[in-house]
Structure 1
Amino acid sequence: MIGLLASRVDREERPDVDKVYMTYVSALYGGGGWPLTVFLSPNLKPLMGGTYFPPDDKYGRPGFKTILRKVKEAWDTKRDALEKSGNVVIEQLRDALSAKANFQDVPNDVAVLYVDQCVEKLASSYDPKFGGFGSAPKFPRPVEDCIMLYKFRKHMEARQESEAQNIMKMVTHTLQCMARGGVHDHVGGGFHRYSVDECWHVPHFEKMLYDQGQIANVYLDTYVITGDEYYSSVARDILDYLRRDMIGEDGEIFSAEDADSAEYEGAPRKKEGSFYVWTSQEIEDTLGENAELFKNHYYVKSSGNCDLSGMSDPHNEFSGKNVLIERKPGSLMASKYGKSVDEYYGILGECRQKLFDVRSKRPRPHLDDKVIVSWNGLAISAFARASQILKSGPPGTKFYFPVAGCDPVEYLQVAEKAANFIKEKLYDASSKRLHHSYRNGPAKAPGFLDDYAFLINALLDLYEYGGKIEWLLWAVELQVIQDELFLDKQGGGYFNTPGEDPSVLLRVKEDYDGAEPSGNSMAAINMVRLSSIFDAAKSEGYKRNVEHLL
């Protein structure tokens, strides 16, 4: 902050602050990303900014030290012009964000039209070899699979079976490639943030709570449609990882695990993926007579296996190391070893358990034990839905580590305990407002739109799949407060922030479903669900609001 101080903002704790300056950088430079660097005047107006700057000049890009010198020089010589420019940009952004929509030319079938266009666009970017939509880096983006599954159901209702099966093939192939890839933690469960290559192999090893909840729900949805236990097993894998590693004593669900960790106790620095990668020798020493079977199944090589793509390890950071990936179906490998599928998978499960025990003795990545309401909402939803959906599995189903194979009712208990934590620790019963996050007490940041919308969705799932009326009543109460704090009664839709903090210069409405669904899309779904639950008078109110939003 020029002329004042340097400040770092945690974008997870203060997404409202992050959104203001990300909007500024995206508007000026055509795109943004993290880490985000913005230089501000003492009155918090942005002067200039960008994404990542290397420490020193490199690859034709100025380093951060060079940037600092240039910014100081500009501040010393052109201060008035810089401040005036910052004020003008913020006012222009404010005007653009408050512009009213013109509905005169919107066709009646707008929803059908745009869903079709979205599905066509996704289908055109589908990777038939490795699954997923688009190229590297590949993110597991559940919102994409969700809209494809929605379109699958519409095709089936219209008896357009060929079109339906084509879409389902894209989704199932994508989910299978993700689960077989290194982006999936085969030893401990759960999914890493994204794959740096096109084949879902070498990931950025961070694990985020918002990914786990959404990905689990997509696998649950696919299981409901296909009846294939492969998808229910992956959903259990994710939820059992959360239960094992990411839940506190009072039921709160933590935010993330870092990508970096020390290679050994006392190592001078941390390295990405150290906790998760293996040498061939480590696997041989741990697994003994089953090492060869395991190595063949997970493509483990003495030279390291990060060679499937030129993008997997361009700087040879993982030379001699292996990121586990399944390249051939288990049934084929079982036949090769002359074993039944059950016996083969049993051996793999025992091997993963042994490696898990060895891995548990390594220095762990840092656990971000911050509790974020919106992300807990996404996870609560998955646990609540799993508690009923997974009851439909055939009796006597076998489970292999890291899947625990618990009674699905235990998932409902996890969901209810997490919801109760939020109600007790992050909800003010007198004002009926939420706090955004908790760590050793509630943070000062108020609840944002995502916190209300994602939690309401979770409470509706708790009510629908668990049956307790208290969750529905709380959802209704929170919807009232959400409308009071965030609803734009003239322009339609919801702002991200309550607009009560003058230091947050813009009230933004988010309509983009990215790594997380937008608060507005989740709010629309919530109101459709609420309108279907209540009688005519109350139902009409929800319908009016959702139609205005859409």
Structure 2
Amino acid sequence: MLDSQRSNRLAGETSPYLLQHAHNPVDWYPWGPEALEEARRSDRPILLSIGYSACHWCHVMAHESFEDEATAEVMNRLFVNIKVDREERPDLDRIYQSVHQMLSRRGGGWPLTVCLNPHDLVPFFTGTYFPKEPRYNMPAFVSVLHQLAAFYAEHRGDLARNGQVLREALEAMGREHSGTVRLDVGLLAHAHQALRTNFDAAHGGFGGAPKFPHTSNLEFLLRSDGEGFDMVRKTLDSMACGGIYDHLGGGFARYSVDERWEIPHFEKMLYDNGPLLELYARMAVYTGEPLYAAVATDTAEWVIREMQSPEGGYYAALDADSEGREGRFYVWDRREIQGLLSADEYLVFSGRYGLDGPPNFEGHWHLRIARSLEAVAADCAKTGDEVAGLLESARACLRQAREQRVRPGRDEKIIAAWNGLMIRGMTVAGRLLEREEFKDSADRAFGFVRRAMDVGGRLMSVYKDGRARFDAYLDDYAFLLDAALELLQTRWCTGDLAWAVSLADRLLERFQDTEYGGFFFTATDHEALIQRPKPWMDESMPSGNGIAIRALLRLAGLTGDLRYAEAAERGLQAASGAMARYPHAHGALMNAAREWFVPPPLVILRGEGEALRPWCAKAREIAPEALVYAIPPDAAGLPPALAARGPAPQGPVAYVCRGRVCAAPVDSLATLTEILAAG
């Protein structure tokens, strides 16, 4: 049983995930010199367990094994046990997930269970969840522990030799460069074809179950031809109607366990919702359809209401579980809903959300749109307006009732990279939907990260309980740089531009692969690990390399500093082979490559704020992909190339460039419209 009075070495940590294990009978260590030295001194293998606070199967394994005295006794006697929050240490998670895929020839996940040789930190075993007793065609966890300890004791020579081979394979992977493939615009067509082949025409999205949003691929298709646009529309429609979307509270769960988007894995992650917020806001403007604006609005309001800290930064995640059950907060009993709604409300709500059909989640109903509004209106002999009104009142009633339930746990870490994704999404939604509170939310979060997480010239990755910790990774720099450039399009602040330049300079100085191109995941002075990854592929988030390269291209255009463009081009060249082999797995890089091949219009507007409003609106209307920066005439401290695009005494002036080709300055809105309309 769990002893709430006893604590282990995790009790002094700030990670909610580590603190969940602080009273386990397992003698857990956080990753660090103390644990590694103890493992070497005692010559015991390291049992490394990696997870995160919103992970359902992490909770299951904790309850079954880590809270069990007998299991803990075996772990403590035979191993040095280290618990890692993968959101605090994505470097460790990335390395050991890669090793798991190499050794097992299949994908990993969480919890990740790894056994390390204490003398070189190279794994000799990897797995994920293990049950306490044999089931799911899996051995009991304690049985695995005894086998691992015996293997370590009996095969020292093999471990050393195999470890060397594995290290060499990891080093080769880290050194891999793909400059043999010529950068060619045909890469974009190749990516489009691969996505078309993998597209699920029936339900939207790519591949089968489990199904993830893959937002970088959707962004790529959104900016391609009509067929690509249709694939995005089908996917966003299906997600908005499916159970991956929270129809009462807004926001999206991490993924769907089925191909129909009906039943999610119920955790809500900040990093999914930022890019999805942007996509739905863009589709709302492109199509004028109310569904997209409603989803974007509800998602942004959920983020502000539940995920923004009083200090300004955005929290990381909501748990999948509450009261010990996955999805307990979100699913419904039909009788409960009947007791809460009026007869008319229930009539339309049950038809709309599938309550008149069989339960779809463990004997309960998880809400998803089962019928169109028109079909419900016809079935109930009501007008469309009557149905819409009844549905809105029913949702409000159920939302209020749901608030009385035990809420899922909230991981209140503030992660720099994830904040970058949400700041960008909230900024775009605020601008496109004309919602000032969304812009203000993004501004508050951005200000918090600048103020609290950039400490003495070193950006920190995680903030919790007043402490900024862990040197930032590639994703932190890249996503914040990208967000800064988006925020500058919404409201100009020269101080924010200076900070963006500082981020870019540190990115080049501390992360760039000066030999082959591209960017490593960790900085030059990071803790020495068994690999220094240089990730190209999109995973649960867009590729840090892809976002960094696009942001550097944009910053080069804005500031005129060609160092950024040169670093971006070298990165694209280095990634070209990987992009050619697996184009559908490199959506963020493909988005960057598109901007390199076909630069979007860069529009610099100088003039007073009110006078520039119609110019901004018209530029974005004519060229939705344009990068539009409205800079006040008295802005000081601008980079020289930007300062040269000065204000005009007679009123607003516009400078329009595409790549390195610029038109003459124009002081007429009609002329600006003609230039942009001409392409």
The TM-score, its normalising length taken from structure 2, stands at 0.70
Contact 2:348–2:387, Cα closer than 8 Å, also in 1: no
Contact 2:205–2:211, Cα closer than 8 Å, also in 1: yes
Q: Write the mapping of 1:107-146 to structure 2, written as runs, cut at 5 A.
A: 107-109=182-184, 112-146=185-219
SS in 1 for 2:82: coil
- Partner amino acid for 2:410? L
CA separation in 2, counterparts of 1:52 and 1:115? 39
Shift of 1:31: 2.8
* Residue 4 of structure 2: aligned partner: none
Measured against aligned partners, the alpha-carbon deviations of 1:244-295 in whole angstroms (never above 9, x if no partner) come to 1111111111010011111xxxxxxx11111001111111111122112111
Identify the range of structure 1 (17-26 vs 352-361) with the bigger mean alpha-carbon deviation: 17-26
**2:578 paired with 1:545:** no
Measured against aligned partners, the alpha-carbon deviations of 1:351-402 in whole angstroms (never above 9, x if no partner) come to 11111111111111111111101001111001111121113xxxxxxxxxxx
* Residue 409 of structure 2: aligned partner: 366
Q: Write the mapping of 1:199-210 to structure 2, written as runs, cut at 5 A.
A: 199-210=260-271
Contact 2:215–2:276, Cα closer than 8 Å, also in 1: yes
CA separation in 2, counterparts of 1:469 and 1:350? 46
**2:121 paired with 1:94:** no
CA separation in 1, counterparts of 2:424 and 2:353? 32
Contact 1:384–1:466, Cα closer than 8 Å, also in 2: no
* Residue 284 of structure 1: aligned partner: 338
Shift of 1:467: 2.4
Shift of 1:225: 2.3
Measured against aligned partners, the alpha-carbon deviations of 1:408-427 in whole angstroms (never above 9, x if no partner) come to 01111100100111112111
CA separation in 2, counterparts of 1:39 and 1:129? 42
CA distance 1:470–1:347, shift in 2 (3 Å)? farther
CA separation in 2, counterparts of 1:323 and 1:66? 38
* Residue 511 of structure 1: aligned partner: 536
* Residue 12 of structure 1: aligned partner: 87
**2:377 paired with 1:334:** yes
* Residue 478 of structure 2: aligned partner: 453
Q: Write the mapping of 1:475-486 to structure 2, written as runs, cut at 5 A.
A: 475-486=500-511
Contact 1:32–1:51, Cα closer than 8 Å, also in 2: no
* Residue 449 of structure 2: aligned partner: 422
- Partner amino acid for 2:535? E
* Residue 148 of structure 2: aligned partner: 71
Runs of at least 5 residues in structure 1 that lack an aligned partner in the other structure: 153-163, 263-269, 307-312, 392-407
Identify the range of structure 1 (14-23 vs 76-85) with the bigger mean alpha-carbon deviation: 76-85
Measured against aligned partners, the alpha-carbon deviations of 1:145-165 in whole angstroms (never above 9, x if no partner) come to 11111222xxxxxxxxxxx2x
**Residue identity (%):** 35
CA distance 1:245–1:332, shift in 2 (3 Å)? same
CA distance 1:443–1:63, shift in 2 (3 Å)? farther
Contact 2:103–2:126, Cα closer than 8 Å, also in 1: no
CA separation in 1, counterparts of 2:566 and 2:384? 54
- Partner amino acid for 1:272? E
CA separation in 2, counterparts of 1:444 and 1:200? 36
Mark the structure with the bigger radius of gyration. 2
CA separation in 2, counterparts of 1:126 and 1:4? 46
Shift of 1:26: 1.6
Measured against aligned partners, the alpha-carbon deviations of 1:95-150 in whole angstroms (never above 9, x if no partner) come to 331144443xx3352xx222222221221222222222111111122112111112
Q: Write the mapping of 1:56-455 to structure 2, written as runs, cut at 5 A.
A: 56-103=133-180, 106-109=181-184, 112-152=185-225, 164=226, 166-262=227-323, 270-289=324-343, 290-301=345-356, 304-306=358-360, 318-319=362-363, 321-391=364-434, 408-428=435-455, 430-431=456-457, 433-455=458-480
**2:497 paired with 1:472:** yes
CA separation in 1, counterparts of 2:527 and 2:183? 40
SS in 1 for 2:224: helix
Identify the range of structure 1 (369-378 vs 292-301) with the bigger mean alpha-carbon deviation: 292-301
**2:95 paired with 1:51:** no
Contact 2:463–2:469, Cα closer than 8 Å, also in 1: no
* Residue 399 of structure 1: aligned partner: none
SS in 2 for 1:47: strand
Contact 2:351–2:371, Cα closer than 8 Å, also in 1: no
Contact 1:412–1:466, Cα closer than 8 Å, also in 2: no
Shift of 1:227: 2.6
CA separation in 2, counterparts of 1:498 and 1:372? 17
SS in 1 for 2:124: strand
How well do the aligned residues superpose, as a CA RMSD in angstroms? 1.7
CA distance 1:463–1:42, shift in 2 (3 Å)? same
CA separation in 2, counterparts of 1:184 and 1:345? 19
CA distance 1:5–1:108, shift in 2 (3 Å)? closer
- Partner amino acid for 1:541? R
- Partner amino acid for 2:118? P
* Residue 488 of structure 2: aligned partner: 463
- Partner amino acid for 1:261? S
CA distance 1:177–1:499, shift in 2 (3 Å)? same
CA separation in 1, counterparts of 2:178 and 2:232? 34
Shift of 1:505: 2.1
CA separation in 2, counterparts of 1:292 and 1:229? 24
CA separation in 2, counterparts of 1:331 and 1:251? 42
SS in 1 for 2:346: helix
Measured against aligned partners, the alpha-carbon deviations of 1:32-81 in whole angstroms (never above 9, x if no partner) come to 31221110122322222123333332344323222111111111111232
CA separation in 2, counterparts of 1:351 and 1:259? 24
- Partner amino acid for 1:373? A
Shift of 1:176: 0.7
SS in 2 for 1:445: strand
Identify the range of structure 1 (26-35 vs 196-205) with the bigger mean alpha-carbon deviation: 26-35
CA distance 1:504–1:443, shift in 2 (3 Å)? farther
* Residue 102 of structure 2: aligned partner: 27
CA distance 1:434–1:77, shift in 2 (3 Å)? same
- Partner amino acid for 1:354? C
Shift of 1:223: 2.3
**2:566 paired with 1:491:** no
* Residue 525 of structure 1: aligned partner: 550
SS in 2 for 1:8: strand
Shift of 1:232: 1.7
Contact 1:279–1:304, Cα closer than 8 Å, also in 2: no
Contact 1:4–1:42, Cα closer than 8 Å, also in 2: no
Identify the range of structure 1 (288-297 vs 479-488) with the bigger mean alpha-carbon deviation: 288-297
Shift of 1:304: 4.4
Q: Which runs of 4+ in 1 moved over 6 A?
A: none
* Residue 309 of structure 1: aligned partner: none
Runs of at least 5 residues in structure 2 that lack an aligned partner in the other structure: 1-45, 48-77, 573-679
SS in 2 for 1:7: strand
CA separation in 2, counterparts of 1:100 and 1:252? 37
